[in-house]
Amino acid sequence: MANKSHFNSGHKTLNNQKKNGIKHSSSIDDKKIEKTIQAIFIEDAVQFLKKLPDNSIQLILIDPPYNLDLDTWDTFSNYLDWAKQWLDEIFRVLSETGNCVIFGGFQYQDLKKGDLLEIMHYTRHHTNLRFTNLVIWYYKNGMSAHRFFANRHEEAIWLSKTNKYYFNLDEVRIPFDEETKELYKKDKRLNPDSIEKGKNPTNVWEINRLNGNSKERVGHLTQKPAEIIQRFVRALSYKGSTVLDFFAGSGTTGRVCIEEQRHSILVDSDKKLNNYFDKHIKQIASNIFLPQYRILKNTDIDLVLKEIDFENNKLSKNLEMVVA
């Protein structure tokens, strides 16, 4: 049976427009900006979300707690009642081309725990968010098991606000090796430009987890590799747009946003976020090509948004001067 996503009207429209050389209304020219704003808030996620204006965020990228009792931030008496509060806010704060990625997994062993299944069910039946993709994060390194098959993957759901969601496949294509490239070039049915760009990474991504002695480690229990965050940021947001992580944990999202010239807003109830983020900054500080950025900690969210607008408007004025 064919995958129903193949018949998605949004996908059909995009494909037809590409064939005719027409840009979709969600297409946005990716431009370099002078400086990004990286804001950090030590605050409850639900309360913080209520302060954000409508349509203010391009990408929400979160790895929420799942009631696994890993720490004080991971314990809830009623998980779904808590999760509903922030799920209900996501649609409102996303821009018209906005996307949301939620990392998670399926907890088969203990029904009292929260998991991605519960989040997916609630989102589908009680919000206006659209399911766009399910990404499988596959890794070879993991824990052993004796009473079930050892787990070697996690899931991430990609949600969008409308069918005009922003998606830049070219930013995350995987290059073909030279031998494959030359072989494909002989096939007249294939587009030479597509061959040069590389292949679609599909929705199964092989990226190793961080081991205990990884140089990227900053001390957080559930830290994700920068590589997987980077792929989502590149594909689902554009330079100068704002990325929100309201379960910021290790602060990896902010690190990636600096490197990829996106503004970021990091929120976490655990004040250790400040220390984790400082460690990220030390790790990337030696990069002489690192884009300029400014860090704002625990300031007013309205001020942060004004600073972001200022940097983006400065870019627009510079472009107008060049054109003139």
173-198: average pLDDT: 88
The answer to whether position 194 is within a domain reads yes
The answer to whether position 73 is within a domain reads yes
54-81: average pLDDT: 75
The answer to whether position 21 is within a domain reads no
Model pLDDT, residue 317: 57
Residue 113 banded pLDDT, cuts 50, 70, 90: low
**pLDDT over threshold 60, residue 17:** no
119 or 71: whose pLDDT is higher? 119
What backbone phi and psi angles, to 5 degrees, belong to 301?
Answer: -60, -35
Model pLDDT, residue 73: 42
CATH number of the domain encompassing residue 107: 3.40.50.150
**Long-range own/partner contacts, residues 267-271 (CB < 8 A, 24 or more apart):** 267/40, 267/41, 267/43, 267/45, 267/48, 268/41, 268/42, 268/43, 268/45, 268/73, 269/42, 269/43, 269/44, 269/45, 269/73, 270/42, 270/71, 270/73, 271/42
Chain segment 51-64, per-residue pLDDT in tens: 999 999 999 999 99
The answer to whether position 283 is within a domain reads yes
**pLDDT over threshold 80, residue 87:** yes
Chain segment 228-249, per-residue pLDDT in tens: 999 999 999 999 999 999 999 9
Chain segment 27-42, per-residue pLDDT in tens: 665 567 889 999 999 9
Chain segment 286-314, per-residue pLDDT in tens: 998 999 999 999 999 999 999 999 999 88
Q: DSSP letters along 103-133, please?
A: EE----S-TTS--HHHHHHHHHHHS-PEEEE
The answer to whether position 105 is within a domain reads yes
257-284: average pLDDT: 97
142 or 96: whose pLDDT is higher? 96
Model pLDDT, residue 105: 78
Helices (H), 223-296: 226-236, 252-260, 272-284
Residues 6 or more apart whose CB falls under 8 angstroms from that of 246 comprise 45, 48, 49, 60, 62, 86, 265, 267, 268
- Fill in the amino acid letter for 220: H
Q: Which residues on neighbouring strands pair with residue 159, listed in sequence order?
A: 100, 131
276-282: average pLDDT: 97
- Counted domains in the chain: 1
The answer to whether position 23 is within a domain reads no
| Contact assessment for residue 280 and residue 235, using Cβ atoms and an 8 Å cutoff | no
CB environment 105-144: b (16+ within 10 A), e (fewer): bebeeeeebbbbebbbeebeeebebbebeebebebeeeee
Q: Which domain holds residue 177?
A: 31-323
The answer to whether position 16 is within a domain reads no
Q: How crowded is residue 16: how many other Cβ atoms within 10 Å of its Cβ?
A: 11
